[in-house]
């Protein structure tokens, strides 16, 4: 991927193009971590889950009547905690 040129708005904001977000693995609504590096550089990456598994358990309780199988739950947990 070649270098991209972005324009800063009057509010001091940047909009990253879809292909740049895809390259970083960032999905709509996801938070982004920014690390300030020497030489006026920034490093961006998708924020990774840092919470406890107890915060995940019961997240959807009462929001659906569908029941997931144990294999489906294991797969969802593995994907979520792997950052996929």
CATH number for position 34: 2.10.260.10
The boundaries of the domain holding residue 20 are: 1-47
pLDDT at 55 over 90: no
How confident is the model over 45-67, as a mean pLDDT? 69
> What is residue 56's predicted lDDT score, i.e. its pLDDT?
61
> What is residue 39's predicted lDDT score, i.e. its pLDDT?
95
Shared domain for 32 and 68, answered yes or no, is: no
The rounded mean pLDDT for the chain is 81
DSSP letters, the chain, are ---------TTS-----HHHHHHHTPPTT--EEEEEETTTEEEEEEPPP-S-GGGTTTTTTTS-S----HHHHHHHHHHHHHT-
The domain tally of the chain equals 2
How confident is the model over 61-80, as a mean pLDDT? 79
Shared domain for 60 and 40, answered yes or no, is: no
How confident is the model over 59-75, as a mean pLDDT? 77
Threshold 0.85, pTM exceeds = no
């Amino acid at each position: 991927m070649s270098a991209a040129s972005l324009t800063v708005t009057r509010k001091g904001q940047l909009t990253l193009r879809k292909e740049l977000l895809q390259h970083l693995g960032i999905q709509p609504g996801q938070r982004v971590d920014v690390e300030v590096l020497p030489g006026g550089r920034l490093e961006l990456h998708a924020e990774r889950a840092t919470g406890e598994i107890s915060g995940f358990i019961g997240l959807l309780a009462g929001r659906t009547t569908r029941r997931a199988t144990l294999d489906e739950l294991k797969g969802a947990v593995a994907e979520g905690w792997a950052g996929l």
